[in-house]
């Protein structure tokens, strides 16, 4: 566990055999999505879906452009720039430290195209859970 009881983000159970962490797209993604949504609500409505979606859309844009390892190597510095964008969004009070940490933790794990592909799928799972908790918390607020 890291970051206030959140599970550590680990892409690979065994990188040599390309075994993905079996909990990554389920319990890990859900725990991070729930915590980031909760903290966003507590801290004056930070982490709005539109802010989170900006980061996800940028990752998807990279994913569409990267088809092989050479393209990935050329794109990697721009992917790592997500750290600066997250710091900027945090500084502007659009996101919380927890979401900034999520981006930084994930980006730090991306060193190859295979890592990047796992990151894209993990972010997709995170977004599914984030949307679920976004709707759930909104329903609770309306009651």
Cα 141 → chain centroid:
25
Q: Which of 132, 116, 141 is nearest to 33 (CA)?
A: 132
* Closest listed residue to residue 79, CA positions, set 39, 40, 123: 123
Q: Consecutive sets of 10 residues in the chain, 143 residues long: mean pLDDT of each?
A: 80 97 98 95 89 98 96 98 98 96 98 98 98 83 59
Question: Could you count the other beta carbons within 10 Å of the beta carbon of residue 21?
Answer: 19
Query: Cα–Cα distance between 101 and 87 in angstroms, integer?
Result: 9
Amino acid 4: pLDDT: 72
pLDDT on residue 141: 61
- pLDDT number for residue 75: 97
Task: Write down the pTM of the prediction.
Answer: 0.93
Nearest Cα residue to 68 out of 12, 14, 112, 110: 112
Q: Angle 82-91/69-80 helices, nearest 10 degrees?
A: 20
Q: According to the model, what pLDDT value does residue 142 have?
A: 60
Residue 5's pLDDT is: 85
Determine the Cα–Cα distance for residues 35 and 99; give it in Å rounded to an integer: 9
In the chain, where the domains are located: 45-137
pLDDT, residue 3, reads 64
């Amino acid at each position: 566990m890291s970051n206030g009881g959140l599970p550590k983000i680990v892409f690979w159970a065994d990188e040599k055999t390309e075994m993905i962490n079996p909990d990554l797209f389920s319990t890990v993604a859900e725990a991070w999505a729930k915590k980031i949504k909760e903290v966003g609500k507590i801290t004056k409505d930070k982490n709005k879906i539109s802010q989170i979606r900006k980061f996800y859309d940028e990752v998807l844009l990279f994913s569409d452009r990267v088809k092989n390892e050479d393209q990935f190597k050329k794109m990697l510095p721009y992917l790592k720039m997500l750290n600066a964008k997250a710091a900027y969004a945090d500084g502007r009070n659009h996101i919380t430290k927890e979401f900034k940490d999520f981006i930084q933790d994930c980006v730090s794990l991306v060193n190859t195209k295979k890592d990047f592909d796992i990151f894209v799928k993990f972010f997709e799972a995170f977004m599914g859970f984030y949307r679920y908790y976004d709707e759930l918390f909104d329903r609770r607020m309306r009651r």
